[in-house]
Structure formats: C-alpha cells, structure tokens
Amino acid sequence: RDLLLRIEDLKVHFGGKSWIPGKASKTVHAVDGVSLEVERGKTFGIVGESGSGKTTTALASVRLVPITAGRVFLDDTEISALTGEALRLARKRFQIVFQDPFSSLNPRVRAGQIVREPLDLMEIGAEADRDGLVQELFAQVGLRPEQQALFPHQFSGGQRQRIGLARAIATRPELVVCDEPVSALDVAIQAQILNLMRRLQEELGLTYLFISHDLGVVQYICDEIAVMYLGQIVEQADRVSLFVRPRHPYTKALLSAVPSARAGKRAANRANRIRLEGDPPSPIDLPKGCRFAGRCPLAEARCHETPPELRLIGKGHKVACHLV
C-alpha cells in the first residue's frame, strides 16, 4: 500500500491541576494509543460520539494540539518530531478544513485575501502571480472571480465552505484534515460540498482524513473508516465491511441509529440488535477493562477486568472486543 500518513500509538493527554484546593490533579485521556495508516489519494474517516477523541486525533496528527506520546509520519517525514522552521515548511503539505465556515473565516477580510493568505505565508509562486493563482483557486471551487471582493457574511454557508476549501488547497497540500466539514450545512448543500471534495481529490490527488459523527456522510465519502470510543479505535475496516458486516457492539449500535436508507438496510437490520444507552464514562476515571463495558449489553465478567486488544479479524478489518 502507498501510505501517506502513519500514526503510531498516538496519545494526547490533557493534564490538569485540580481547581479544588487539596484535590489531586486529573488527566484527561483524550486519545489513548491510536495507530492508523492512510493510503495516498484515499479518504480515511474517523467516526464516534463527541468526546471519542476523533477530532483530537486529527488535530494532533497535523500538530495543532500537543502530542503526549506516539509518532506521526507523512511519507518518511516524522511530523511529530519537527519544530520551528522545519515544522512551518512542512505545514505546506497538510491543511485543515474546519466544521464551521461561519467562524473559521475572518469576517473583516475579503474572500480573495483569505484565499491568498496561505500563498503569501508560504511564499508560493512569485508575488506578481498570486492574484492569478487566487483566481484559479476560486474557479476550482466553483466561485466567480468577482466574489473575491466580498466579505464572508455576503456568502451562503455552502459558499463559505467553498472559500475554506480554496484556502486549504492553496498550498497544494497532500493531506487535508476535514473536521466535520459539512455538519453545519443543509443536507442538499452537504451533497454539493462532498461532491466538490471528491472532484478536488481526483484532480489534485488529495488524501483526506475525514472526521464526522454522521455515518451517512462517512459512508458516502470514505474508503476506510475507524470507529473511536473514549480515546481508542474499537473497529476499523473498509467502507463495505464496516457498513455491511460491523462486528463491534458499539459500531452496531451506532449503525442502528442511522436511518436504513442511508446506512444500508441490511446493516441497520443487523445492527438493530443493540441499542446504546447512557453516556460514555469520564475520560478521567477510565474503566479497568473494556471502555465500552458499562454500556455494552453483551458485556461479560472478563470485559470488566481485561481491556480487549484491537485485533485483525479479516483483510484490513480490526476489532477490539473479547467476543469477536
């Protein structure tokens, strides 16, 4: 496999002094031993509820949150070891598209300048050529040249996300981290943006690390998917295996919550057997055994004692459950 991104045993722990005098410090285990590999030119999805660590995993992999332990490689470059100028230069190779196009764009800066900024920062092309590059980027994401003069509030939500995409591809990155890029948009607009992302991927050979809580969206755009629960991957597989033959009780529960027309009727019917109740436990006081045991209807005594390892059960299909 031609791998672009490799994450090895990534841990992101947020330490904290207790704000209550005399109380011990607490550590939040936001990401706790995540390893994954993303093939060049493909879309790798990470799904999970809020607090699962999916966004932190993605942000840590592009050095936007501090890494506690583990290593991240882009090709042969160890991103996790870079500092200073080397890290600044490497940033050309990975960009991010945020969830909320309303708040991720500076309201006082015109759209053309927003897209031009990364070109100036990274000194891409001759200065005299950058206006032309911005015009090309606008065309690539389906915006008109005269719209460069407008401010973000003069665009619709979908158009704002097009500006976000133009800004992200300006440096011709290899990896684009997409943090819930369509969650704030209407369903019809979601489809337009997802199709645009697919087209850009084909044209530019982009690799996406795609974070979402929406399984319908993930099924539409992702080639491979990891399901995260409480800081760890509990199941990982290609799209077909995950949606047609989910094996982990948590994945089955997530799929059972998706309307059958979107997730595939068979998957939903199989998944119907398990329903999720309650909230995940605190990422501060983690359970000793399987982290899902408190909510899992199949839990046995050993589940509360021993954490299951993420094991390969078929071609590229990994599951962390004692019963699989």
Nearest-angstrom CA–CA distance, 213 and 234 = 15
Which CB atom, from 73 or from 292, has the smaller least distance to ligand SF4? 292
Closest to 40 in 3D by CA, of 78, 76, 16: 76
Interaction between residue 313 and ligand SF4 (CB under 6 A): no
Closest to 60 in 3D by CA, of 50, 68, 52, 48: 68
Nearest-angstrom CA–CA distance, 107 and 109 = 6
Interaction between residue 321 and ligand SF4 (CB under 6 A): yes
Which CB atom, from 286 or from 323, has the smaller least distance to ligand SF4? 323
The residues, any chain, with a CB within 8 Å of residue 77's CB and separated by 6 or more, are 90
Strand partners, 26: 16
Nearest-approach distance from CB 13 to ligand SF4, in angstroms: 22
Interaction between residue 323 and ligand SF4 (CB under 6 A): yes
- Report which secondary-structure segment, H or E, holds 228: strand 224-229
Nearest-angstrom CA–CA distance, 123 and 168 = 15
- Residues from 248 through 307 that contact ligand SF4 (CB under 6 A): 249, 290, 292-293, 296, 298-299, 303
Nearest-approach distance from CB 250 to ligand SF4, in angstroms: 6
Which CB atom, from 157 or from 294, has the smaller least distance to ligand SF4? 294
Interaction between residue 230 and ligand SF4 (CB under 6 A): no
Closest to 280 in 3D by CA, of 77, 54, 7, 6: 54
- State the number of binding residues for ligand SF4 (CB under 6 A): 12
Per CB under 6 A, the list member of 80, 95, 308, 317 interacting with ligand SF4 is 308
Nearest-approach distance from CB 241 to ligand SF4, in angstroms: 18
Both structure tokens of 237: 């597989």
Nearest-approach distance from CB 293 to ligand SF4, in angstroms: 4
Task: Name the DSSP class of 32.
Answer: E
Which CB atom, from 41 or from 287, has the smaller least distance to ligand SF4? 287
Q: Which residues bind ligand SF4 (CB under 6 A)?
A: 249, 290, 292-293, 296, 298-299, 303, 308, 321-323
